[in-house]
Chain A
Amino acid sequence: MRRVSASEATDAELILRTGDGDRGAFEALYRRYARPVFGLALRRLGDRGRAEDAVQETFASVWRGAHSYRPDRGPGGPWIYAVARNAIVDRARARSEAPVEAPDQESHDTGPAERAEASWTSWRIHRALEELPDNERKVIELAYWSGLSQSEVAGYLGIPLGTVKTRTRAALARLADQLEEELDGPGTT
């Protein structure tokens, strides 16, 4: 059977290959998940330094523990999420403090379950964004988080407004496909 390249492989395949000591697979996992893990850690710990530690510890655990991953128990994304969550909790315990939400998150006095759900949602979204082609991800990031209108995005990127809309629709459709797959997976928290 043809072995797919690291960039085409599923998360589960990459974890299995990492478990066999495949450095390239491990690096591909890192590129996919470093930002989502960092985002999750920032949200939970509220401190960049500790969040960076948590990222390091997460991927150390992934490298050490990948051989224990069983694809029949669920997809790779939730497995890495669980590893990251453990690393973050450990980091919080190291300071004898409970994990906190970053102050810029909209908490509205939500409980632990709601916060966990919000963290999981952000995780899935940020992970899916990493899979978008660069030109689509750039349009999404500008449209959602820069405060620019579509016309302004077009001007900023130097492309026609129609192209901005086409890329936006394509990116949203691609994200919907990815998120539907992940939503079907077990063990989301």
Chain B
Amino acid sequence: MDRARPDFRELVGDELTPEERDRLERVHELLVEAGPPPELPPTLAEPPGESTASLIALPRRRAGAMLALAAAIALVAFVGGFVAGKQGVNSGINTFHTLKMHGTAADRNASAKIDIGELDSSGNWPLRVVIHGLPRLPKGSYYEMFLTKHGKAIAPCGIFTVAGDSSTVRLTMPPTLKKYDGWIVTRERTGSSAHPVVLTT
């Protein structure tokens, strides 16, 4: 791939001694050769947890389970009438599948349960998310839930705040579930460029 190669003389000017010029030009060549460092994805924004046994489990590690879920949802989309009525409706949605989220190193005590309802009339999947253990955030800050693919946040499901140890929020996700393999929740603090993942499937 051709990359625009910066002009070394333009970069450093003509004021250097020959020795210093040679030294810097060697670094210049190495920079050109190395190319740019990659940006870290959100899932790697924070260091792993203290215990090596409880490192942040990225969503893709559960890809198999999520693909199975995707297949199940696709099946239900075809035979939705079969499922409807067999599941409880006390939550306000006809839950046909539930999965768990767990806290990451950023919020180790947090957890959540996602109830996935049937496809609604507007073509989205309703979600009921019960969250435990996430701290209340200052005014202007919030949590955001994303669908992920290979650990990358792809599609936002919605933002929310919490009040107290347990909160319930209603979100939706797009109909094309097969594009995704997990969920994450990030913490978005006012004035901070960090987006730590606090919950993951």
Contact = CB atoms under 8 A, between A and B. Distances in A.
Interface of A: 23, 26-27, 30-31, 34-36, 38-39, 42, 47-49, 52-53, 55-56, 59-60, 63-64, 104-106, 118, 121-122, 124-126, 129, 140-141, 143-145, 147, 149-150, 165, 168-169, 172-173, 175-176, 179
B11 interface: yes
B37 A39 contact: yes
Interface in B146-201: 150-152
Contact of A144 (B1, B16, B31, B40): B31
Nearest to B16: A169
Contacts of B44: 34, 38, 52, 55-56
B32 A144 contact: yes
B143 to A, nearest CB: 22
A58 to B, nearest CB: 10
5 contacts: A31-B47, A49-B152, A59-B55, A104-B1, A150-B10
B75 interface: no
B192 to A, nearest CB: 15
Contacts of B79: none
Nearest to A42: B38
B30 A144 contact: no
Contact of A126 (B32, B34, B61): B34
Most chain B CB within 10 A, of A59, A144, A149, is at A144
B58 A53 contact: yes
Contact of A165 (B11, B20, B150): B11
Interface stretch (B21-29, B95-103, B112-120, B132-140): B21-29
B11 A168 contact: yes
A38 B37 CA distance: 9
Interface residues of B, number: 41
A35 B47 CA distance: 12
A48 B10 contact: no
Contact of A30 (B12, B28, B47): B47
A143 B52 contact: no
B52 A60 contact: yes
Counting from the closest, the 6 A-B pairs by CB-CB distance are A49-B150, A30-B47, A125-B34, A145-B36, A126-B37, A122-B34
A153 B24 CA distance: 20
A120 to B, nearest CB: 10
B127 to A, nearest CB: 24
B185 to A, nearest CB: 18
Given A26-B47, A150-B11, A169 B24 contact: yes
Contacts of A150: 10-11
B18 interface: no
